[in-house]
Amino acid sequence: MIIEEMTADNYAKVCKGVIIRYSFAETLFGRVIVASSLLGVCFLGFCDIQESGLNELKSRFPKNSFEEGADEFQMAALSLLQPGKQGRAEVRLHLKGTSFQLKVWKALLSVPQGSVTTYSQIAQLIGSPKAVRAVGNAVGKNPVSLLIPCHRVICSNGLPGGYHWGADRKKCILEWERKQVEVC
């Protein structure tokens, strides 16, 4: 997995007005919208109603214009969501976020499928053991759900915690991943 990182400042300079392509697809856990810039996938989120997904995309990238259509980046990302595929290397991500957020998101990538971590563990991993609350915030702003496994983070007391796309969906995904690992 290749990650193209960009802060808000950089993004404004480099990607102002650039067209972002988006398309919709079905996954095991619901309909998703996937979007990509010239550099890679920049957004992936669940959307039971297509319009709401599109609205969320637009609000995250207010300075861009949009056009419906699929491309290689999107296809590669989507193939990761299908069972049995492990070709994680060929996927390109284009992430816009603060340096803190980027650190958190990269830390999430080290959480293997089928296991979970906690907000405080992530905080320690990135060297700010006290910044638990902030970690929760950053995790919740993950623009590419599933690709960056933000759903594998739970509360340290064992409760599932929240999920941007619905707590029940989070449980559902975790359950499915747990079973996948058993099979292997």
Q: Are the C-beta atoms of 152 and 161 separated by less than 8 Å? A: no
* Local structure of residue 126 (DSSP, 8 states): T
Q: Please list every residue from 79 through 118 that binds DNA, using CB under 7 A.
A: 98-101, 118
Nearest approach, Cβ of 63 to DNA (angstroms)? 12
Residue 94's Cβ-count burial label (10 Å; 0-12, 13-18, 19+) is buried
* Nearest partner of 29 among 130, 170, 183, judged by Cα: 170
Q: Please list every residue from 23 through 42 that binds DNA, using CB under 7 A.
A: none
Check binding of 161 to DNA (CB under 7 A). Answer: yes
Nearest approach, Cβ of 90 to DNA (angstroms)? 24
Nearest approach, Cβ of 142 to DNA (angstroms)? 5
- Please indicate whether residue 150 is annotated as part of the active site: yes
CB closer to DNA, 83 vs 158 = 158
Nearest approach, Cβ of 102 to DNA (angstroms)? 9
Check binding of 120 to DNA (CB under 7 A). Answer: yes
Stretch that binds DNA, among 11-19, 33-41, 143-151, 173-181 (CB under 7 A): 143-151
Distance of alpha carbon 109 from alpha carbon 104, whole angstroms: 9
Query: Which tokens go with 135?
Result: 């970690």
Stretch that binds DNA, among 64-72, 75-83, 158-166, 174-182 (CB under 7 A): 158-166
Check binding of 132 to DNA (CB under 7 A). Answer: yes
Please, which contacts does 172-177 make with residues 24 or more away whose CB atoms are closer than 8 Å?
A: 172/29, 173/29, 173/146, 174/116, 176/28, 176/29, 177/113, 177/114, 177/152
What beta strand segments (E) does the chain contain? 2-6, 19-27, 30-36, 41-46, 65-68, 92-96, 117-118, 153-154
Give the active site residue among 150, 155, 172, 184.
150
Which residues of this protein are in contact with DNA, per CB under 7 A?
8, 98-101, 118-120, 128, 130-140, 142, 145, 150-151, 153, 155-157, 161-165, 170
Which residues are marked as active site?
150
